[in-house]
Amino acid sequence: MSQNIKADLSQDAYKKAVIFLSELDDSWAQHIATVGPCRHEAKSNREPYEALIRAIAYQQLHTKAGDAILKRFLALYPEVSFPEPEQLLQTDPELQRACGFSASKLATIRGIALAKVQGEIPSLEEAKCLSDEALVEKLIPLRGVGRWTVEMFLIYSLERSDVLPVDDYGIREGYKRLKSLEKAPTSSQMRKIGEMWSPFRTIAAWYLWRLPNR
């Protein structure tokens, strides 16, 4: 396994991260004390193919809306927990579209299924041996799959502990609220700021996502 792969999201790692982040400054300490222990939940048994499709379903949507669309989609395949790529491709696109996917999202989802059939998407075991950047470079050429989508896979399926999705609106807005800023940082600014949170950037992201609107 590559030396730059950090995949420790154990309870012990959470405790270390909380101590580390709380010692950064008072704003972090107060926010973490308010939220409490990190309860990030990964789905480490999901294949990249499934994880990418699930991430696309939630892209640019509130969680409840994504949940509803995904539930309708999975209801098309009652005999399995998640459809195999061949099964997905054999389904009438209009039935899938009726679940609530935009035309663009459905094209992306079917493209991911086709890429899996064609061997362009690694298995879970193969992905575990690749660094974050190697996986980003391998997967973002897929239609509709951007860095954010791959980062969700890194965080939730591979349990990588040092990932900060700087293009995520909630991350940048969360930092704005944490620091009482007038304007949220740009993605490039957020990336630079987040360097000081390494090697616990995934945990930092979890806490930033939990800052209330104010």
Confidence of residue 1 (pLDDT cuts 50, 70, 90): very low
Q: Average per-residue pLDDT in the chain?
A: 91
At residue 140, the pLDDT reads 93
Q: Is 42 helix (H, G, I), strand (E, B) or coil?
A: coil
The ranges of the chain annotated as CATH 1.10.340.30 are 48-158
Q: Which of 189, 183, 150 is nearest to 166 (CA)?
A: 189
The CATH classification number of 11-42+165-209 equals: 1.10.1670.40
According to DSSP H, which parts of 103-200 are helical?
103-117, 124-128, 132-139, 147-156, 169-178, 187-194
Q: Is 34 helix (H, G, I), strand (E, B) or coil?
A: helix
Would residue 168 show up in a list of annotated catalytic residues for this protein?
Answer: yes
> In the chain, what percentage of residues exceed pLDDT 90?
77
At residue 3, the pLDDT reads 40
- Catalytic one of 8, 92, 162, 168: 168
Confidence of residue 5 (pLDDT cuts 50, 70, 90): low
Rounded-to-integer distance, Cα 184 and Cα 43, Å: 30
The CATH classification number of 48-158 equals: 1.10.340.30
State mean pLDDT over 179-191: 96
Rounded-to-integer distance, Cα 110 and Cα 33, Å: 43
Instruction: Tell if the pTM clears 0.85, that is, is over it.
Output: no
